[in-house]
Structure 1
């Protein structure tokens, strides 16, 4: 704990509000709320913590706080600050896409669709379905039962589905608007759980087909009835009032929280959502934050009612979600909440072993690596590798690992611009200067550790650029391979020394993954560039053959070999003038024909 933090801790008020933790770069890494700012913020810098909290605290070099009038105001402010800054230690939901709905379109010939957007277009929407597979399964069943429009043909032209009696959107069907309105109502009743009429109709059709000795058609009706029965089993009726509800339950253990949400739609439990994450605040406070993010970030349909565990502040939830919020004390609704809590506990217990292994491979690995190198925990690692063949098509690549995991959105590719010939040192010098000049110029987040795929020479070049030319204080390590092209040694220090790492340690496995990934990324990029250059170089310089004509040639002939074998007439058929076609033949070595 530095002097700045010590001084600020003395000034904290015993009021509700939000606190904002920052790292050495001034980046916001965690936002929290508290009923008592003084007690909450001081707790981070006193006593012992678990591994994940220690990792957070180790990065805090400054904090700010905002006092609010109430705990509810603090919750609303916290949700907005998290949404705006996306701190890496805050709860981030696994999936920010909206859930699918089943839609009956408002058209003369309605269609049955799966959509993720609810619009005021006159269509009928049913859902949401957290499991897109369940939505597709229901749609497939409805498509077999109801002959909605399934094609893009004009009304006068029949389609395949017409011939199997699954599309009546054609003039020859001679159906009016009331036919589709009644059919849409039947679907609506089915999705609301009122499927008795449909079942009776299918049974009557099955019996009629059997009487007429149309056994294949009878078997089809039988299969539809069986599918409806299976769907009924999956969508167990939970309430008779046909209300839409979200039922929340949570369980905490060893610094981790599991939240389960049961989605009850039209009185049926249709699906659940599970989220498992580390928490840093009081469990009930982080649970409130989760609910706020859940309805904001996921654009989730707000139900008629939300059911919560008894220890949660319902008033605070009502402030962030405009719907009825209940904490049931008895009856069926209480049983639903208890079921959600039970499932949360089971999920946490089942996944804890995997999470522990994951933490050991990632968080534990970077912590151990930091201790071995005597540097702060390298949360962000940037690694570089060059690739060329005898100096042709030279490229370089950078991969980024954050908290021990690849951050592919931060990967970068570099074409070497200033180096002629196979000069690995000069290529590394150019790329590092380009990368970290931009980091300084644009105020990007610098890495905690730079890893160079190479030995002493490459590391010395990196130091020359990073430390001497740019004046940056970033630790630099080198990874050397053995004669089998496998990760062999870690070089670090001034002067450079081999760092002893156990071959069975997680930190060694992490460095191995980093080296393999940057090599794969560089080789992949080099192959792309080489392939493009190979094609371009043989056709470059031909007067009258520009990029569009090259593209047309490749699209038509598929390969240079086929272009080389083509006759003048065939080349002209692609759109080449006679003179250009002759020049192509000469350039590729076949001569005039």
Structure 2
């Protein structure tokens, strides 16, 4: 059974249920999608091809197998799709960078708990905060905590029995004031756990508990005339105030909100995520995502929200965005605020997304400028090597192609500023020459090309390259003279064997250094013209063979042969069609004739 018939069979058995579907090529999963109605959604890929963009059509052309999973609700489909995309990383789904592990701050499950950084979240009873979008962000918070509180950093097992037995001695951290010596029972466990409680509040975004504690300690020290100690508490309070000032952007009445914004161009989407707790931004992430199927911003944002909320373990019940997005998640509100503090959050997040977009597009523009500068530099070298009077910003190269005189054709390729300008490429069917005569063919195509440019008042190139030796070059010169434009355009020929460059009227060729960038540019022109001519020649030859074979079939006329030729290109593809498919193309009578012809022979 042909592949398309197998797919139709699979689609006919898909359920009208919510769930996810997976598209496979010969190597594995290439796309995962979700649907309220699996059969309707999958069928749309195959029934509405005229509405699809090129990338989607390419995806569909590679599908050889379809699988599905039914779920209870649209929300379940949304979450399952996200998990499968992360698991399989299909090439046609938009993806966040895979393989990245985010750092956490962990309060370990032990007596006199340590506060450490880690990228491995274990089910060991410890308390984990994060993840943080980068190690730098995490280090700022961890350094603040270690500055505010005297915590131990050793790995000793500080059980009551070990401490009572005197197994440990205080280290340098104790002597410089970073630790109070719990290993020798010099630290009160209740006080230490009080520090840990405050640290948990800070890591949860609630700084008020720690701030009130330091205010109380500062006032008590001052009342007891311990001004140096009071100053130390004042410094710690200032650290907290400074930390909060850098992160607070709106009213303290806002708590536990996820903020997502997006902006995009044709190739990429740029997003920003802010996690807000108690009026403070405790996490932020900006990212760039390559579009795979020209997805809409709302679809990209929905996918990213699901992935980032999972990665950053968000439990927020409120999400605000800059565009309307559908999230089939239970007990979660999604809105686009227009005024107030939430609108300020949206503006701040979007500012970050736009900054990332501007930076990336600026970098791409700089790279493009660098490329243009390199191409112009090569043209300057070519101008010098060929002793041209002006910079060859437009170069046109001609080549002939025939097989023993059969289907003679020619091609012209055009490079502008050192790069192919494919919209200016031209094919030529040789009209005035009989038999394999490359010289006369060259005269014809050069004449036709520049006669038309002159008639249409189009700009002429600064350089013409003829793929061939002195004979072809001479006929190109004759064509230019007959058009009265010889001398207005530089023209050279390139011989294939030794890469010799010939000038009109000069019997001695020019040999350019084989490593020269200008020679490489000429070779690119010659190879492109040759490829373009050969491709056209083969298509004509194949078309001629196909048309002749079909018109030899009694009952199949030239019109039917021409139509089948345009669509299928080869007899082999026609032979693979079923009788029903042939009926759809040419009707029952002609289908019977062709099917009998193909399969009887």
**What is the TM-score of this pair, normalised by structure 2?**
0.48
Greater radius of gyration (CA): 2
- TM-score, scaled to structure 1: 0.49
